[in-house]
Amino acid sequence: MSDAQDAEVLFETRGNIGLITLNRPKALNSLTAGMATLIKAQLADWATKPSVHAVVVVGAGEKAFCAGGDVVKVCKSYQAGTEEWREFFHEEYLMNVAIDEFPKPYISFVDGITMGGGVGVSIPGDFWVASEKTLFAMPETGLGLFPDVGGGWFLPRLPGETGMFLALTGARLKAADLYALGIASHVVASDKVDRAIEALAAAEIKDNDDAAEVLAKFHADPEPAPLSPHFDDIDEHFDGASVETIMESLKADEGEWAQKQFKILSSKSPTSMKVTYEQLKRGQGMETFRENMKMEYRIVCNTMKGNDFFEGVRAILLDKDNAPVWQPASLADVSEAAVEAHFESLGDKEIEL
């Protein structure tokens, strides 16, 4: 195998499209700072190249589109006193902005596991194509983090309170739910993805309408969304004036679904939940994705000063005891000042957008 094929991310032009392949299948295509830098640079090149009508992104291997960023590496960098962690988030977030502002159709075939950073490589684009293999989640509150890579922008713009529900619980969704919520623009069977890409490569694509016309030929409506019977429950319980209000509402509902959500939230980082709640409320009122990413960079850099991210990574990914010891341990002990501190300016460390 050549060095080019060994690269973490592959780029090629195929017919009228630029094709990005996330190429770390053994690591479930998890994102690195280097990959983010290369994608951003390639998009800048393709943006002005008339022969490239659209960009398509896929993940290598059978399991994952992109299972997220390498947060273990991020934690070790911060603990070692290096700046590698900051570079990772900086480059990742600049890539997210580049995808959002890319002037041509950007189409993600999300054929497999897609979490955290994988959502950031795909959802700021124009088309998010799920398959029967898609498994989506923003699980950050269970890691002592928050749903970054644009979560503050796209989650509060989902129907009703489903964005707050996904952000706080880290719920895992498949194609039917993703299509019902409008996260997935299309659903294409995994064994038809290659043919869909070939069709895009052969098409004259002047705008999103042209891309949508091609994708529609391969789309098949999924079965009814398993989450749909609970949309009213979500709107009722997750429309609270605070995380505490949401928890109280769920606890008071003796139904099986509400009790399950209460138990799930009880396991999450109290600090992360309160920061996430505030992130979505602020993001909802912002006018641009770029403005949201500036906020999220502040949050992530300030989060690194605390305890819970490192504890979450230890408990879930390193020791795998699934028994994180959050500090503070209760919502009541997370002060408004502590939440506000996550949104403070970074001075000369602000992200350069």
pLDDT, one tens digit per residue, over 103-145 is 999 999 999 999 999 999 999 999 999 999 999 999 999 999 9
Q: What is the pLDDT of residues 302-343, one digit of tens each?
A: 999 999 999 999 999 999 999 999 999 999 999 999 999 999
Name the residue among 95, 32, 35, 98 with its Cα closest to residue 69. Answer: 32
Task: Give yes or no: 69 in active site.
Answer: yes
Percent of the chain residues past pLDDT 90, beyond the cut: 97
Q: What is the pLDDT of residues 173-182, one digit of tens each?
A: 999 999 999 9
Name the residue among 295, 168, 298 with its Cα closest to residue 240. Answer: 168
Q: Which of 69, 112, 152, 170 is catalytic?
A: 69
3-state helix, strand, coil in the chain (%, to 5): 55, 10, 35
- β-strands 9-14, 17-22 pairing: antiparallel
Q: Which of 18, 68, 117, 170 is catalytic?
A: 117
Q: What is the pLDDT of residues 166-203, one digit of tens each?
A: 999 999 999 999 999 999 999 999 999 999 999 999 99
User: Dmax over Cα atoms in the chain, in whole Å?
Assistant: 60
Task: Give yes or no: 117 in active site.
Answer: yes
Q: For residue 196, give the 3-state DSSP assignment.
A: helix
Q: Which of 91, 111, 126, 140 is catalytic?
A: 140
Task: Outline where DSSP puts E strands in the chain.
Answer: 9-14, 17-22, 54-59, 64-66, 106-110, 113-115, 127-130, 135-137, 186-187
Q: What CATH number does residue 270 fall under?
A: 3.90.226.10
- β-strands 186-187, 17-22 pairing: unpaired
- Which amino acid makes up residue 300? V
Q: Which residue has the tokens 């770029």?
A: 290
Structural domain for 159, as ranges: 3-349
Cis peptide before 328 (omega within 30 of 0): yes
Q: Which of 70, 100, 126, 148 is catalytic?
A: 148
Answer whether 100's CB lies under 8 Å from 290's CB. yes
Q: For residue 186, give the 3-state DSSP assignment.
A: strand
The CA distance from 244 to 299, in Å, is 21
pTM over 0.75: yes
Task: Give yes or no: 140 in active site.
Answer: yes
| Domains in the chain, number | 1
Task: Give yes or no: 120 in active site.
Answer: no
